[in-house]
Amino acid sequence: MPENPYPFEPFKIKTTERIPITSREEREKILTDAKGNIFNVPARTITIDLLTDSGTGAMSDAQWGALVQGDESYAGSRSWEDLQATAQVVFGMPYILPAHQGRGAEHLLFTVLLDRDKKPVIPGNGHFDTTMGHIDWAGGTGVDCIGDWALDPESDYPFKGDIDPGKLRSAIKEAGVDRVPLVLITITANTAAGQPVSMKCICEVREVCDEFGIGLYFDAARFAENAYFIKEREEGMGDKSIAEIVTMMFEPVDGAVMSSKKDGLVNIGGLVVCRDKKLYRRLASMGTLFEGFPTYGGQAGRDLAALAVGLREVLHEEYLRWRIGQTYYLGKRLRDNGVPIVWPPGGHAIYLNISKILPDMPLSQYPGVAFQNAVYLDSGVRVCEIGSVMAGRDPETGEDRHPRLEFVRLAIPRRVYTQTHMDYVIESITRVYENRDKLKGVRFIYEPKVLRHFTAEYEEVEKEVSKT
Ligand code: F0G
């Protein structure tokens, strides 16, 4: 990446939304009322919202136009025909099935492909939490085969999302091939800080799958961002268009699930795509039961129309250059200010390395939550802990599960914020980082059993005064 890779926004702003500006005093009251849980803070009190890049993007004029032109038919609408034709070309797959969002698509694929009696095992490069949830739900277990290159948050390794083929082979042999119905590659790897997966890795994983006769699927939520990284970083790919790279990426796989809320550039929706007619038929029957008729899948016709446009727009190279450049800009400037982050910056988010920022705060005081809340109090910016609170408790022992590293994620909505917004975030994070020795940990005053991070309530823990 060049020193200052931040290109100008390749769009003009046609509609604006007022940003709430609050005082520190107001924010203190808001966070107290929210019982210290950033998920309980109303969006109308948030100045810059980096909670997620999912369903939070801005649509283009062409997408808004498509919304109006979209037609609403239960079966076989014009909007559906447009989406189907577009997705067939973009992904090179004959069968396209809409779902209400990514997890709806996961539900269909895993219920159809997993045989609970076999105790199935699904290797991947760090399944996303809903994906893991759906694998569990269908009676399976996820196994992480990401390479050791992902473990060093500071190395320059260009494709930290890559699966290690050696680990994959071992995982398949250990489980027994009969228990492995598919391998799932997430592009880009959200649980590995949005790091990309190389074309080389996709081909190697295909070879391993062929050795054992196993299907290969993508979790393709951020497929276009992944393609841009391949273009930028992988040898021999620089001259290809993003559309060509996407075609190459999908050629070796049997199908994919996708949350359209990311690289579909829409606010809701999901897809399953596949090559096999029999599989499609089974998916479509399940889809009719849980999502809706196979030509709308829980979405309005106009949503399908906007998604068709989004899937075409996301392939524009100047958009992706700006998008990946904006994430890089945020990460690089934070790093220049001394803030430890996962390097190199991924596609959709910057991950602060809280284990390095607050090494002395006990994990039982949830340092990620302490940092996240301090950022809100400082500036009204909402970021999100990805650490021990999110990991939850071990159902057997009841003890907290501690991930290898504690993170706070700054996920950037698409086409929403400008460079000056990023500067505001950088100043605030840097300020909180520089005053990190004043931060207080938290403890639960209410802790739900399932997905505790969404609804937990906290209070601050007073710092112990050193007796020396
Ligand atoms: N797969 C990946 C890689 C994801 O990042 C997500 C969602 C999903 C599947 C599920 O999709 O939300 O449409 O049902 N990620 C969001 C996030 C929630 O904030 O990273 P969904």
Residues 6 or more apart in contact with residue 294 via CB below 8 angstroms: 97, 98, 284, 287, 288
Mean pLDDT (whole number) for 157-183: 98
Q: How many A from CA of 58 to the centre of ligand 1?
A: 17
Mean pLDDT (whole number) for 171-181: 98
Mean pLDDT (whole number) for 322-347: 97
Mean pLDDT (whole number) for 262-291: 98
- The pLDDT assigned to 1 comes to 53
Amino acid identity for residue 435 in this structure = N
Atom of ligand 1 nearest to the CA of 130: 10
pLDDT more than 70, % of the chain: 98
pLDDT at 468 over 50: no
Q: How many A from CA of 259 to the centre of ligand 1?
A: 6
Q: How many A from CA of 3 to the centre of ligand 1?
A: 31
Note if 74 is an active site residue.
yes
Mutate to test the pocket of ligand 1, among 101, 262, 408, 410 (most ligand atoms within 8 A of CB): 262
Note if 217 is an active site residue.
no
- Which token pair is 283? 């998916």
Query: By mean pLDDT, which of 59-63, 105-109, 112-116, 451-455 is the weakest?
Result: 451-455
Atom of ligand 1 nearest to the CA of 101: 13
Tell me which residue has its CA closest to atom 16 in ligand 1: 54
Catalytic residue among 192, 453, 456, 458: 453
Catalytic residue among 6, 115, 118, 129: 129
Name which of 376, 403, 420, 415 is nearest 262 in CA terms.
Answer: 415
Exposed, middle or buried by CB within 10 Å (0-12, 13-18, 19+), for 64? middle
Catalytic residue among 221, 227, 305, 374: 221
pLDDT at 396 over 90: no
- The pLDDT assigned to 466 comes to 52
Residue pLDDT, tens place only, 30-78? 999 999 999 999 999 999 999 999 999 999 999 999 999 999 999 999 9
Q: Please, are residues 203 and 252 in contact by the beta-carbon 8 Å criterion?
A: yes
Note if 219 is an active site residue.
yes
- The pLDDT assigned to 8 comes to 84
- The pLDDT assigned to 264 comes to 98
Determine how many CB atoms are found less than 10 A away from the CB of residue 146: 24
Superfamily of domain 24-53+316-460: Aspartate Aminotransferase, domain 1 (3.90.1150.10)
The neighbouring-strand residues paired with 411 are: 349
Q: State the sign of the Cα–Cα–Cα–Cα dihedral 121, 127, 130, 131.
A: negative
Q: Which CATH number fits domain 61-313: 3.40.50.850, 3.30.360.10, 3.40.640.10, 3.40.47.10?
A: 3.40.640.10
Atom of ligand 1 nearest to the CA of 259: 13
Note if 128 is an active site residue.
yes
Note if 262 is an active site residue.
yes
- Which token pair is 288? 């009719």
Give the separation between CA 180 and CA 164, rounded to whole angstroms: 17
Note if 53 is an active site residue.
no
Name which of 342, 412, 408 is nearest 371 in CA terms.
Answer: 408
Q: How many A from CA of 130 to the centre of ligand 1?
A: 7
Which pLDDT band holds residue 464 (cuts at 50, 70, 90)? low
Helix H, strand E, coil C: the string for the chain is CCCCCCCCCCCCCCCCCCCCCCCHHHHHHHHHHCCCCHHHCCHHHCCEECCCCCCCCCCCHHHHHHHHHCCCCCCCCHHHHHHHHHHHHHHCCCEEEEECCHHHHHHHHHHHHCCHHHCCEEEECCCCHHHHHHHHHCCCEEEECECHHHHCCCCCCCCCCCECHHHHHHHHHHHCHHHCCEEEEECCEHHHCCECCCHHHHHHHHHHHHHHCCEEEEECCCHHHHHHHHHHHCCCCCCCCHHHHHHHHHCCCCEEEEECCCCCCCCCCEEEEECCHHHHHHHHHHHHHHCCCCCCCCCCHHHHHHHHHHHHHCCCHHHHHHHHHHHHHHHHHHHHCCCCECCCCCCCEEEEEHHHHCCCCCHHHCHHHHHHHHHHHHHCEECEEECHHHHCECCCCCCECCCCCCEEEEECCCCCCCHHHHHHHHHHHHHHHHCHHHCCCEEEEECCCCCHHHHCEEEECCCCCCCC
Tell me which residue has its CA closest to atom 4 in ligand 1: 128
Which pLDDT band holds residue 18 (cuts at 50, 70, 90)? very high
User: What value does the CA radius of gyration of the chain take, rounded to a whole number of Å?
Assistant: 22
Mean pLDDT of the chain, nearest integer: 95
pLDDT at 169 over 80: yes
Mutate to test the pocket of ligand 1, among 184, 261, 303 (most ligand atoms within 8 A of CB): 261
The neighbouring-strand residues paired with 49 are: 382
What are phi and psi for residue 383, nearest 5 degrees? -125, 180
In angstroms, the Cα distances linking 214 to 65, 122, 180, 205 are 43, 11, 7, 10
Residue pLDDT, tens place only, 352-390? 999 999 999 999 999 999 999 999 999 999 999 999 999
Domain layout of the chain by residue ranges: 24-53+316-460, 61-313
Q: Which residues line ligand 1 (CB under 6 A)?
A: 52, 54, 101-103, 128, 130-131, 186, 190, 219, 221, 259, 261, 270, 411
- The pLDDT assigned to 465 comes to 56
Give the separation between CA 309 and CA 326, rounded to whole angstroms: 23
- The pLDDT assigned to 278 comes to 98
Catalytic residue among 74, 148, 336, 402: 74
- Which token pair is 374? 């301090």
Give the separation between CA 96 and CA 255, rounded to whole angstroms: 10
Mutate to test the pocket of ligand 1, among 100, 259, 384 (most ligand atoms within 8 A of CB): 259
pLDDT at 210 over 60: yes
Q: Please, are residues 150 and 161 in contact by the beta-carbon 8 Å criterion?
A: yes
Atom of ligand 1 nearest to the CA of 191: 3
Atom of ligand 1 nearest to the CA of 349: 20
Residues 6 or more apart in contact with residue 21 via CB below 8 angstroms: 47, 380
Report the first-to-last Cα separation within the chain, whole angstroms.
48
Q: How many A from CA of 131 to the centre of ligand 1?
A: 8
